[in-house]
Amino acid sequence: MTLEKEMLKPDRPDWHDVEGLTDTEAAARLRIDGYNEIPGARRRTLTVIVRDVMTEPMFILLLAAAAIYFLLGDNAEASILLSFVIVVIGSTVYQEHRTERVLEALRDMTSPRALVVRGGGQQRIPGREVVRGDMLVLVEGDRVPADAVILAQRNLQVDESLLTGESVPVGKRHWLDGDLRLQPGGEDQPYVYSGTLVVQGTAIAEVNATGPKSTIGTIGKSLQGIETEKTPLQLQTGKMVRLLAALGLLLCALLIVVYGLTRGDWLDGLLAGITLAMATLPEEFPVVLTVFLALGAWRISRRRVLTRRVPAIETLGSATVLCVDKTGTLTQNSMNVHTIVTGEALFRVPDVTDTAPLPETFHELLEFGILASEADPFDPMEKAMHALAQRYLSGTEHLHDDWELVYEYPLSAEMHAISHVWRSTHGDEYVVASKGAPESIADLCHLDAASSAQLAQQVEALSSQGLRVLGVADARYSGKEWPSIQHDFAFRLLGLIALADPLRPAVPSAIARCHAAGIRVVMMTGDYPGTAHTIAREAGLRADTLMTGSEIDGCDEAELAARIRTINIFARVVPEHKLKIVNALKADGEVVAMTGDGVNDAPALKASHIGIAMGGRGTDVAREAASLVLLDDDFTSIVEAIRLGRRIYDNLRKAMAYILAIHVPIAGMALLPVFFGWPLIFFPVHIAFLQFIIDPACSVVFEAEREETDAMLRPPRPLDEPLFGVWNLGLSLLQGTGVLIWAIALYGIVLSRGATAEDARALAFTALVIANITLIFANRSWKRTLFASLHIPNRAVWWITGGALLFLALALFEPQLRQLFRFGEADIAGLLLAVVAGIASVAWFELFKLLRGIRFS
């Protein structure tokens, strides 16, 4: 495919004139060159996961215990422990591999996308699938997916700071014969480079290097050493693990010394110490955290919200303010022209079934509205105007496909209007078409006071219906140099075009849910104040007061922070205003979630606690600045993500509380018999058995648990609230202590009545397993009672319960397993007593729920 393309006009890219590669050609090149990826951080393959598991402390302790049994000549128990080692490796590898696959899928889903032309049509594909020879369509806000040569461009400016360190964007031109391959940086080059950012203009470029062969690929190896920063929850959990591990090691050392001194058997003492180490080792904490956050991101993705940064999941439940755009988020982003006005004449656009023609009076207004728009529009408003023009002006002299666009004045913070300068096919003058905010068009037309007042009255009447209103003007120009600003043209006001963008039907109920959850919703829009107020009222926003962008400009930080506490609607705002709003809310102590889609939204998205980029209409730079990406641009998806964020955090807290609670009786029953002079209750085989209940319970049962009934009826949790607060820590320790007291008391009483150690051990272990299962059911909800939770579906809890009871029965009644576990022959009356003791040890927690006024359903 040659670089010369006569049909492409260098000043006006048009992808319609490009065929691009066929899908077959692209697939062949992908096989040859590989994926368009640079060397990055090491991904955990199955081999890496197995290697990491084999260095885990629990694995090493099991091997040490097996080695001691071999030294003692107990080959049967050693062999059983080695088989447990295999099962532990298998279950851990399965869980971690499952988590890694979820993370891999999320990485693929959140990776940048590329717009290419293949087979004559546009396709949006993953950036990693771009190949040599692909035709890229680049627009403002895109991240360039590969090194490419520019075939045609218009006003193209690219930020190459990622490669050069220079923050000032550089201008680009199209390729000419004789151009050499250059390095990034410098003006007027015909190349774009992978990883750089289009900040202005459009272009068509042919890919000439991908992956490791691209410019950024040559430095990609430096990314391999970059470690991901730990989240606040990971830091908290790491601190808890270190504390418990240190306490466990201290108790193990103490146990070995006491056992060796009092009983004179240091090898058995070492075995008892290993058992206690296995009982106290808090290995589940980091595993559970990883599983919950990974699967949480996956669950949120099923609600059409992608997680780009894991800490966002932790923060979702703390959001107190949700700042959202109106267009496309609260509304459907499916605009249609509702009314057009020129002078005193008004035309309400009828249903498409009405075949009556458009009155001649309005032809010129619609004609120049089209001339001020893109020929191949992306913006929904421009699409709506094109559709209306095709309906009424098709085949007339008012559509000018043969005119040439020669200059463009883009929208700016100072002037909310766009002007296109056209060279017509007749006459020597240039034709200028402008559209934009009515007040900006009025300013361009230099209207007198009376005309401005009349225009404002018309705009107010239209915007009060929730319509978005644009002004349209035209001018003629015969100069030799383009004016530096649009004001220098002699514009004439043609009229107004009002567009309807209906509210999404589910928005009012979603906003009501936010209010019930203590979340304030703030709407930010570039629309006219009347339009913003009407839409806000329909959506159910608290819309007593409104603030405009010009008022924000007139406030200092203190004044804005004071006013912003009572204002939920911001109209006529630009991205710079959004940043001020976010910073003011943060300064007032709010936890801010914010939506955005444009290049200039990136600073505000980054400044907010939870940046939410629009996946449908958003730019790459907005998505990269955000923590979450909203695939369907729908407000209700944000509310669902907040609900799931609260659920994930609640369930994580329950799982952590359960882990801490169950380790208390296990550690206590491994330690206390040594100090009381009793026979040991636990040996490594018992701890390994209990791990088969604990591990899946904390990482599967609680992760799959539904949210509490009041999840969206309570205020957001404080952002700095610890996972293990005094209340949660105390409750967990009380649960564990209750189980320990009942189980150890049962063991001591049975021994005191003359029973053998084997009989007492069987009853104490049975009581502990039953208490463990009861703890799982009790902690499924801290709001509902255990019996109410039975009606809530959770298949995992029944599988684990059934499996635990089955294996307990085998250990109690199967002779060889009974010998392995050092159990006496089962006594039905004794076992019933153990079951009662296990259930009773947790029953107080159910009474506690009832005393706090919790309902049964």
Q: How many CA atoms lie within 13 A of 511 on its CB side?
A: 26
Q: Is 428 a catalytic site residue?
A: no
Q: How far apart are CA 399 and CA 393, in angstroms?
A: 7
Where are any strands of DSSP class E within 446-589? 468-477, 492-500, 520-524, 547-548, 569-571
Decide: 124 and 114 in contact? Cβ < 8 Å: yes
Strands 547-548 and 520-524 come out as unpaired
Q: What is the DSSP letter of 238?
A: H
Candidates 147, 325, 474, 634; catalytic one: 325
Q: How many CA atoms lie within 13 A of 264 on its CB side?
A: 0
Q: How far apart are CA 502 and CA 508, in angstroms?
A: 12
Q: Whose CA is closest to 618, among 637, 605, 607, 636? A: 605
Backbone angles phi, psi at 391, to 5 degrees: -70, -40
The amino acid that residue 794 corresponds to is N
Strands 345-348 and 404-409 come out as unpaired
Q: Whose CA is closest to 215, among 187, 198, 196? A: 196
Q: How far apart are CA 532 and CA 330, in angstroms?
A: 11
Q: Is 74 helix (H, G, I), strand (E, B) or coil?
A: coil
Decide: 624 and 309 in contact? Cβ < 8 Å: no
Strands 569-571 and 547-548 come out as parallel
Helices 380-392 and 363-371, axial angle in degrees (round to 10): 140
**Structure tokens, 742:** 């009942």
CA-only gyration radius of the chain, Å: 34
Q: Whose CA is closest to 279, among 57, 39, 593? A: 57
Transcribe 474-496 into DSSP letters: EEEE--SS--SSGGGS--EEEEE
Transcribe 326-338 into DSSP letters: IIIIIB-S--EEE
Helices 828-851 and 757-779, axial angle in degrees (round to 10): 30
Distance of CA 400 to the CA centre of its chain: 45
Q: How far apart are CA 435 and CA 416, in angstroms?
A: 9
Decide: 631 and 709 in contact? Cβ < 8 Å: no
Give the chain's count of helices (H) and strands (E): 28, 22
The amino acid that residue 829 corresponds to is A
Transcribe 162-209 into DSSP letters: HHH---S-EEB----TTPPP--S-SSSBSEE-TT-EEEEEEEEEEEEE
Q: At a CB cut-off of 8 Å and minimum separation 6, what does 174 contact?
A: 8, 10, 150, 151, 152, 153, 190
Q: Which helix (H) or strand (E) holds 840?
A: helix 828-851
Distance of CA 299 to the CA centre of its chain: 10
Alpha helix (H) residue ranges in 173-303: 232-263, 266-280, 284-301
Helices 635-676 and 726-752, axial angle in degrees (round to 10): 40
**Structure tokens, 447:** 């209207």
**Structure tokens, 17:** 């004139």
Decide: 573 and 115 in contact? Cβ < 8 Å: no
Q: Which helix (H) or strand (E) holds 116?
A: strand 113-118
**Structure tokens, 391:** 């309906």
Q: Whose CA is closest to 440, among 473, 466, 406? A: 473
Q: Which residues are catalytic?
A: 325
